[in-house]
Amino acid sequence: MATAVRKIKDFFTVPPGFDFRTNIGVKIGIGIVTWIIIILFLPSYKSIETQYEIGTIWSNEDLIAPFSFPVYKDDQDYENEKQEVINSVSPIFKESGLQEASVKSQLSNFFDKLDNILNKAEVLQKDNKGDINSELLDEQKDKLFVEFSPEEWRALFSYYKGDLSGERISYGRLKEDLSLYLQELSKNKITDKSKSDIKSETVSVIIGNNKVLSSENVSDIFDKEQVVEMVNSKFTPLLSNNELSEVVRKISNVFLKPSLVYDENLTNLEIQTRIDAIPKTIGIVRENERIISKHDPITRQTKLKLDSYKKVRLERVGVQDYFVQYIGKALMVLILLLSFVFFLRYIRPEVFADNLMLILISSLIILQCFFAYLSLQVVVNAPVELLIFVPVTSILLTIIFDSRLSFYSSAITCFLIAAVRGGDFTIAFISFCGAVLAIFSVRDMKNRNQIFRSFFFILIGNSISILAISLDRVQDTSQILSHLLFGAINAIMSPVIAYGLLIFYEKAFRITTDLTLVELSDFNHPLLKELSSKAPGTFHHSIIMGNLSEKAADAIGANGVLARVGCYYHDIGKIARPEYYVENQMDNNLHDRLNPKMSAKIIISHVKDGVKLAEKYRLPQEIINFIPMHHGTILVSYFHNKDKEALEAEGQSDEIYRYPGPKPSTKEAGIVMLADAVEASTRAMDDPTPGKLEKQIDRIINERLNDGQLDECDLTLKDLTRIKQSFLAILVGIHHHRIKYPEEQKKQTQQEDIAI
């Protein structure tokens, strides 16, 4: 037992070094699962062939029947005939066997018991023995068929004694008249089924054990609600007390029993017999008979023949045909998916490397195929296929990745939904047109609400493509308007669905989209507003850094927006103690009163403070990473040099003067590290000529390289050259009129070490 448990545990144990996001086995699994799911959505037997509708022209060759087959009725026509049969069948009732004498006997027995109870209550009241109400309640439970409330008993007792004034009929007369009227009503044919539920004009009644059916007009019978209401109408005007009226109603409800009992089983059997007799066909097509000729218009009769031919052909398919067809479908889907895999592998390798991103893309493609599958399951006389929301996929992939990947995936998705719908390339064409314009509409988004502007572009794409196809098929105006309406619904719903799914995917896959970055770059963000007010020097430094980093990142093909936004937040930890950083100091330097170790501790602490602040404001992890990475593990050299002799004398390491790291692990983080050092060191340079600026940039890049700070961020020497050129171009523009005043010279060394 223990061995079996250990084997199960070992089976589910993740091997050392396993990385879900990059593992090749996971990639293969994602591909296979996607492939199988899409195959399951494909129709069971429907080859890729021309779609046809009434009013269009048959553009294929003449279609000759290879075998004889019946022409089946339209599904809706058949359902209408079934409904007519259901409505025409008379409900079947059985006689309950209730006799008039039996009703008379039951009523007489009831009123005798009621009189006895009321008489006993009167005696008890005169003798002042017991609680009248409790006595009455006990008696009614044991002897009567009708249960009255205490208030009704009280009213009935007062009525019996003659204490109620204003009643137009006495207790004795009411009892007699009510009994006679109930006996009279019992002679009628009373059903247990509401007449409002009977759709036919007659009902069938089984008489006796001989099961002889007689027909009764519905107008000649009553349901129980009717006869009870007739009693109320007769006696309520005679009684001013509401409780007494309710007593009469309850008595009527008990003793007016149905004489006709609805037999649901016999009725359903009769309905099914009639339905089975309805013919499902309206003719036959003989073998070698022409079904339709090329260029003939498709009429309603022709469509029925085509539908019947496809249905019978499906029934004639054998097991071998199914197997061969599934191989063909599997290959077709496999080719489409493999073409997309090759695109990702060679055009977007960074996306292909991340299994989470592959799952995201796969889920969106499967979602559209599911919509296509649902459109085949809904049998309505409307173009529901236009509610396949391919633009949703286009919008999301454009925002999360880029327009090129979105364009290619949208094309693949359109081919797949055409396959799911049995070769419906009409909907593929319409969906692709809407998707392309959706991609165009969200390429350069500045805020989340701009998703909704895609509505107009999707509407244009859908409308033009629908009109083009409708005019080509010479469809009538009502069909065109119907298709345009559903195309408009698609255009309205796609941005709404995309908006909701974007929030879901950002949370579920921990994605930081360019849209999120653009929102974070707004200087009205609470953190940036606080930074600008409490540490204006740091804020200005971050903005200049952002310009340097964005241009450099764009130059080497990295994410410029991510680098710029990372710069804006990289020093937010300085908000806690802004006065200890030279860019925020005016005259006094607080470090003059501190020992080097304490100064270094304060300077280094802004990294930890920044991470805490970023987490508090729920910044994306990609932005938080810039806070510790932009310093890596470099030395705070200014204070280290001041304390160097003491460290050597005490035999201590320089670790207390190093930032905790980690080192930059992305190209963007490496660029931000260099931009931070370059901006701080060149800010107060004496006579910042292009030559001096270039020399300073080279010095900083070489220092970071030699210190191993750029070992983990994949920046090549070619990248570093382009980064240097980008930095230099911006810095020359900033400093070409810069004149350094003598008093600034004293601060230069501190600025180069403390500010960065």
Residue pLDDT, tens place only, 621-667: 899 999 999 999 888 877 766 766 666 556 566 677 888 889 999 99
> 203 forms bridges with which residues in the sheet?
216
In order of start, what are the domains of the chain with their CATH numbers?
Answer: 24-45+320-508 (1.10.1760), 92-270 (no CATH), 516-754 (1.10.3210)
Which pLDDT does position 371 carry in this prediction?
93
pLDDT band at 210, cuts 50/70/90?
low
124-140: average pLDDT: 60
Q: What is the mean pLDDT of residues 709-720?
A: 92
User: Would you say residue 548 has pLDDT above 70?
Assistant: yes
* Mean pLDDT within 98-119: 78
Taking only the tens place, the pLDDT of each residue in 443-466 is 877 677 788 889 999 999 999 999
pLDDT in the model for residue 32: 95
Spatial CA neighbour of 39 closest among 325, 387, 355: 325
CB 747 within 8 A of CB 589: no
Based on C-alpha coordinates, what's the Rg of the chain?
44
Q: What is the pLDDT at residue 741?
A: 44
- Whether 436 shows a pLDDT value over 90: the answer reads yes
- Residue 333: the pLDDT is 93
Rounded Cα distance, 288 and 300, in Å:
21
CA–CA dist 88, 344 (Å, integer): 63
State the pLDDT at residue 208: 67
- Token pair, residue 195, equals 């007449």
Q: What are the tens digits of pLDDT across the range 400-409?
A: 988 999 999 9
Could you tell me which of 664, 565, 663 has the C-alpha nearest to residue 620? 565
Instruction: Report DSSP state, residue 654.
Output: S
Quick one: average pLDDT of 126-140?
59
Banded model confidence at residue 235, pLDDT cuts 50, 70, 90: confident
Which of 57-66, 96-105, 225-234, 484-493 is least confident? 96-105
- Average pLDDT of span 271-283: 87
Instruction: Identify which of 46, 22, 41 has the alpha carbon closest to the alpha carbon of residue 365.
Output: 41
Which of 253-262, 365-374, 496-505, 617-626 has the lowest average pLDDT? 253-262
Q: What is the rounded average pLDDT of the residues 354-361? A: 94
Comparing 498-507, 652-661, 703-712, which segment has the lowest mean pLDDT? 652-661
**Structure confidence by residue, pLDDT tens digits, 241-251:** 888 888 888 88
The answer on pLDDT for 736 being more than 80 is no
pLDDT band at 138 (very low <50, low <70, confident <90, very high): low
Q: Is 635 helix (H, G, I), strand (E, B) or coil?
A: strand
CA distance 252 to 615: 75
Of the listed ranges 273-287, 556-570, 736-750, the least confidently predicted one is 736-750
Q: What is the pLDDT of residues 246-265, one digit of tens each?
A: 888 888 888 888 878 888 88
Average pLDDT, the chain: 83
Look at residue 135 in the predicted model and tell me its pLDDT.
Answer: 56
Separation in Å, CA 692 to CA 102, 583, 626, 736, 752: 121, 22, 28, 12, 15
Higher local confidence (pLDDT), 49 or 535: 535
- Residue 738 in this model has a pLDDT that exceeds 90: no
Q: Report whether pLDDT(697) > 90.
A: yes
- pLDDT for the residue numbered 444: 75
pLDDT digits (tens, 9 = 90+) for 524-540: 999 999 999 999 999 99
Nearest one of 310, 305, 316 to 281, comparing CA atoms: 305
More confident residue, 133 or 709: 709
d(CA 76, CA 572): 68
CA distance 368 to 374: 10
Share of the chain above pLDDT 90, in %: 35
Joined together, the tokens standing for residue 159 give 């009525």
Helix (H), strand (E) at residue 166: none
Does 18 score more than 70 pLDDT?
Answer: no
What pLDDT score was predicted for residue 598?
83
The structure's pTM equals 0.59
pLDDT value at 15 more than 70:
no
Q: Decide if pLDDT at 754 tops 50.
A: no
Residue 38 φ/ψ, nearest 5 degrees: -65, -40
Q: Is the pLDDT assigned to residue 746 strictly greater than 50? A: no
pLDDT reading at 750 higher than 60:
no
* Predicted pLDDT at 650: 63
Residue 11 has pLDDT above 50, yes or no: no
Q: Nearest to residue 617, comparing CAs of 693, 706, 525, 688?
A: 525
The stretch 509-537 carries a mean pLDDT of 89
What are the CA-CA distances from residue 244 to residues 158, 227, 676 (Å)?
A: 10, 18, 94
Using a 10 angstrom Cβ sphere, with 0-12 exposed, 13-18 middle and 19 or more buried, the burial of residue 570 is: buried
Look at residue 341 and tell me whether its pLDDT is greater than 80. Answer: yes
Query: For residue 579, what pLDDT band results from cuts at 50, 70 and 90?
Result: confident
Q: What is the mean pLDDT of residues 130-135?
A: 54
pLDDT at 432: 96
Given a cut of 80, is residue 315 above it in pLDDT? no
Q: Which of the 8 DSSP states describes residue 218? A: G
pLDDT at 733: 86
Integer Cα distance of 610 and 676 in angstroms = 16
Q: How far is CA 38 from CA 362, 421, 547, 749, in A?
A: 10, 12, 46, 65
Q: Which of 42-56, 373-387, 503-517 has the lowest mean pLDDT?
A: 42-56
